[in-house]
Amino acid sequence: MKNFREKANMTQSQVAEAIHKSRSAISKIENGEQEIDAYSIVQWARATNAEAQAAIIMFGADVIAHAAHMLTLVPAMIIWW
């Protein structure tokens, strides 16, 4: 999580404001002193533009390949409906 924040050039305070947590909570999460829930991970990834990286960490590298494959099916599903 800290890596996402640093790559986005954001401070702990900026992330805290973006995901509606205290700066202290952000510090504790980054230092492994506090767990983070899945919803907050998604918010953090969005705030730092790290959605793809978070998905890979959470679901493995195949998640991008599966998503790309699913997108190829969308036009066929639209025609079917």
Distance CA 75, CA 56 (A): 25
Residue 72 in this model has a pLDDT that exceeds 60: yes
H/E stretch holding 69 reads helix 62-80
Model confidence pLDDT, tens digit, residues 43-70: 999 999 998 888 777 777 676 677 777 7
Residue 77 in this model has a pLDDT that exceeds 90: no
| Those residues with Cβ within 8 angstroms of residue 6's Cβ, 6 or more apart along the chain or in another chain | none
Q: How many helices (H) and strands (E) does the chain have?
A: 6, 0
Range 25-40 average pLDDT: 95
Residue 71 in this model has a pLDDT that exceeds 60: yes
How many C-beta atoms lie closer than 10 Å to residue 56's C-beta?
A: 14
Model confidence pLDDT, tens digit, residues 18-31: 999 999 999 999 99
Provide the pLDDT for residue 49: 95
